[in-house]
Amino acid sequence: MKYPILCQIMPPDLLKQLLGQVPEEEKNIVLRTIIIDSKMRERRAIMGSMSSMFPLAGEKSICIFDSHNTKDVRSSTKVRCLNDDKADDLSANEAFHGLDVTYNFYENIFGRKSIDNNNMSIKGYVHWGDKYMNAFWDGAKMCYGDGDPNLGIKSFTASIDVMGHELTHGVTQYESGLEYWCDESHHPGALNESISDVFGSLIKQYALNQTAEQADWLIGQIFTDPNLALRNMREPGTARPNDPQPAHMRDYVNLPNDEDHDNGGVHINSSIPNKAFCLAAIDIGGYAWEKAGQIWYKALHGDIPTDCDFHTFAQLTLETSKLLFGNESREHRAVRKGWEAVGIRI
Amino acid sequence: MKIYFSTSGGLMGILNNHVMIDSDTFSEKEKYQFENLIRHSDFFNLQSDRPPTHGAADYINYSISIEDGKQKHTVKTNDVTMSSQLEPVIRFLQNKIRK
């Protein structure tokens, strides 16, 4: 199983040469690698050409805007930026704090400067929409709804891991270009979601100074009932009533890849890599961002196929753990065990 | 007028949450308001939006189908590419569902 990641190290000419040399039954694997490699090169070229479209701050820059319960950026007003006093608005202060902690986490732990590693200005829009029950990343900014307490949902700024989750979608956009869909044999959307949950949870643990064992591994405690969350990384399927997340590959939820089914269930099957990470981090011990987090971040930083499947990503994390900590090190074994526990044998 | 409204996706991973609303159940004021929104948005000539690109995530997808006599039209959109014409229609329907 070495072919799926050949594109990390081999130039396209060598891949094409290899195509003429491998046995007939392996030609398809090399051909697929060439296609993935060309897709990644195309994506890098596009992202590179787009960088001039985003204003670069030059140094750390975070600004929070009030959308006044509309979905209109033009009528939004700036309420708090870096070095400003606290705003007279709880959501604005929560969003600022969450994004500030997230920036500091990425800089202090990974030496990363903002979303694009080039100090792109971080923009958060609070009071987005009318009782809007969601938070999202639109490719350039984050938007947070107020929720509706009458329906048991709080403001999405109340949960620091949600801040980290959304900003990490931006990091993934710049580092891997994982596409936003899933089917039976490709899982880039669920991996994209899982990476946001992993770093969202690490940011919460970093803010609370918790070890992997102490952490609750819950994502999105945005419900007025404090016992509920959107997702439970340690025990998928138990975060709330009717939680649809599977804990093992045998229970993978295969949904149509369309707009009516969460693009193939990107928020459903993300629990499989979530649990693998959580188990590896607990097995390694200590602060999860120090070792397991480093492995996942370095793997994300590498060349991931834009239509990556769980197995290929698992293999990348295993190889990264070996590179960082050594063959058959505690970390290397913990990563393998984590993936095996969710039914992914590498 | 029959309105079929569905949402999917978002941070919560909603799966095809759909409702059917009959405008006969609207109050006179609501009926007037909604018909104005449909007219102003030019709903029956609107095209569906393409899914967002460039790394966007956790946005909600919306689908609105309206049957009015012989006319029937469906428009799909999402939080990222939603037009300012369609936004008030979606806000109206969401408020109606919450009531």
Q: Are B13 and A262 in contact (CB < 8 Å)?
A: yes
Q: Which pair of structure tokens corresponds to residue B75?
A: 């428009």
CB-nearest to A259 from B54, B55, B76 is B76
Give the model's pLDDT for residue B99: 74
Give the model's pLDDT for residue A188: 97
Q: Across residues B48-70, what is the average pLDDT?
A: 92
| Residue among A172, A197, A228, A260 with most chain B CBs within 10 A, to mutate | A260
Known catalytic residue at A184 = no
Give the model's pLDDT for residue A57: 52
Candidates 3.40.50.300, 1.10.390.10, 3.40.50.2300, 3.90.950.10; CATH matching A176-341: 1.10.390.10
Q: Is B53 a residue whose pLDDT tops 90?
A: no
Which of A86, A54, A228, A67 lies closest to A151, judged by CA? A228
Chain A residues closer than 8 Å to B10 by CB: 133-134, 136, 267
Paired sense of beta strands A231-232 and A218-219, if any? antiparallel
Answer yes or no: are the C-beta atoms of A174 and A116 closer than 8 Å.
yes
* Cα separation, A165 vs A146, whole angstroms: 17
* CB–CB contacts below 8 A, A to B: 116
Ramachandran area for residue A18 (φ above 0: left; ψ -120 to 50: alpha; else beta): alpha
Q: Are A139 and B14 in contact (CB < 8 Å)?
A: no
Measured between CA atoms, how close is B62 to chain A, in angstroms? 8
Q: Is B99 on the interface with A (CB under 8 A)?
A: no
Tens of each residue's pLDDT in chain A, 346 residues = 333 333 343 444 544 555 566 655 555 544 544 444 454 445 544 554 454 455 555 899 999 999 999 999 999 999 999 999 999 999 999 999 999 999 999 999 999 999 999 999 999 999 999 999 999 999 999 999 999 999 999 999 999 999 999 999 999 999 998 999 999 999 999 999 999 999 999 999 999 999 999 999 999 999 999 999 999 999 999 999 999 999 999 999 999 999 899 999 999 999 999 999 999 999 999 999 999 999 999 999 888 999 999 999 999 999 999 999 999 999 999 999 999 999 999 9
Give the model's pLDDT for residue A303: 80
Give the model's pLDDT for residue B50: 84
Q: How far is CA A164 from CA A138, A149, A208, A282, B49, in A?
A: 15, 23, 14, 20, 28
Q: Are B11 and A177 in contact (CB < 8 Å)?
A: no
Give the model's pLDDT for residue A96: 98
Which of A192, A244, A191, A237 lies closest to A218, judged by CA? A237
* Cα separation, A232 vs A7, whole angstroms: 34
Which of A172, A171, A177, A168 lies closest to A306, judged by CA? A177
Alpha helices in chain A, H assignment, sequence order: 12-19, 27-50, 90-110, 160-175, 188-208, 262-265, 271-284, 292-301, 310-325, 330-341
Domain encompassing residue B64? 2-98
Q: Are A136 and B6 in contact (CB < 8 Å)?
A: no
Q: Could you tell me which residue, B15 or A295, shows the higher pLDDT?
A: A295
Q: Is B88 on the interface with A (CB under 8 A)?
A: no
The position carrying tokens 């971040």 is A297
CB-nearest to A260 from B6, B12, B98 is B6
Q: Is B98 on the interface with A (CB under 8 A)?
A: yes
Architecture (CATH level 2) of domain A54-158 = Roll (3.10)
Measured between CA atoms, how close is B69 to chain A, in angstroms? 26
Q: Are B59 and A166 in contact (CB < 8 Å)?
A: no
Q: How much is the CA Rg of chain A, to the nearest whole Å?
A: 20
| Closest residue of chain B to A170, computed from CA coordinates | B55
Q: How far is CA A98 from CA A76, A94, A167, in A?
A: 20, 6, 10
Known catalytic residue at A166 = yes
Predicted confidence band of residue B98 (pLDDT cuts 50, 70, 90): confident
- Give residue ranges of A with CB < 8 Å to any B CB: 50, 71-72, 129-131, 133-139, 143, 148, 150-151, 156, 162, 165-166, 169-170, 172-174, 177, 180, 192-193, 196, 220, 230, 244, 255, 259-263, 265-268
Q: Provide the residue ranges of all domains of chain A, joining segments of one domain with +.
A: 1-53, 54-158, 176-341
Instruction: Domain count for chain B, please give it.
Output: 1
Chain A residues closer than 8 Å to B82 by CB: 71
